[in-house]
Amino acid sequence: MNKFPIFVPGVDLTTTVFDRHLRTPYFHQYNMSVQYRVRTDLLLEVAYVGTRGLNLFRNVGINQARLASPQHPIINEVLRALNLPEDVITTNTPANAQLRAPFQGASIIGFAQSQTTAQSSYNSLQISLTKRLSKGLQLLGSYTYAKSIDNASGGVSGGAGVDSGPILGNQHDNRANRGVSDFDRTHRFVLSYLWDLSRPALAAKSTAGRLLFSDWQVAGIITAMSGMPIDIVDSGAGSFYGLNAANALARPNYASGATRGTATRNIPPGYFFNPL
């Protein structure tokens, strides 16, 4: 049986293929902690916890259009074989993106490859204070200061159980896609408590009072955390690459002469940063 894809005239091939050089994803996990007994019923613990992920899955649009210039023209071999004059391309427009694609006959946005070329890192400071049950009160407070960085945040893809993340903008620019993870939360505080309520005096006066007012507890969990990061993207920046939908989104660069300091000072109302 022929297992190769069938090309239909006039219809671009769309599929997701696996890189023949797939590697096994793996993680390095490391931690160190110190405990100190503040008093008999109070324990303080300070820990460093880190994780490094290598060879992680991500989907790459390997057929994105190449960029042409008069100094570095692109030769379309299909047009040359047909003796058409447009075989030498020196300009970049959304209209000629498909002609600049490396694999003619395959879709730019619908022809992807699953690769194990993503990486991630997680580093955190974790502090906990535990008060064992005494005098009717039990407490556990935990605080985490952490940062997660990767170059392809994502979830389960297509219901196939493959963790993979899409790439924004230029599919071959790993540095531009490295940043804080989509799910990163810098600060997280959790407090859980249990309080044994004392039995009031009226509980001892009758059986009904004893049943109604004895052995009551108040318990709860309080969680506070910082929000997740946002991406500032240009929805049309991938058009020269022939990308659209999610992959067409690209992250902006600083304007000439701008720095992080100038972008985060004197911010006009209604803006997240200073556009000037």
For the stretch 211-261, pLDDT in tens is: 676 778 899 999 999 999 887 777 766 778 887 655 566 777 777 788 888
Is the Cα dihedral 63, 68, 71, 73 positive or negative? positive
Report d(CA 126, CA 46) in Å as an integer.
Answer: 6
Would you kindly state where each structural domain of the chain is located, as residue ranges? 15-65+101-190+228-263
| 3-state DSSP of 40-65 | CCEEEEEEEEEEEEEEEEEEECCCCC
Do 99 and 89 form a contact (C-beta atoms < 8 A)? yes
Neighbours of 165 (CB within 10 A): 21
Do 150 and 178 form a contact (C-beta atoms < 8 A)? yes
**φ, ψ of residue 117 in degrees (nearest 5):** -120, 10
For the stretch 2-38, pLDDT in tens is: 555 566 666 788 888 899 999 999 999 999 999 999 9
pTM of the model: 0.75
More confident residue, 190 or 12: 190
Report d(CA 51, CA 30) in Å as an integer.
Answer: 6
For the stretch 125-153, pLDDT in tens is: 999 999 998 888 899 999 999 999 998 87
Q: Which residue has the tokens 């600083």?
A: 254
Contacts of 139 (CB under 8 A, 6+ apart): 129, 130, 131, 191, 192, 193, 194
Three-state SS at 239? helix
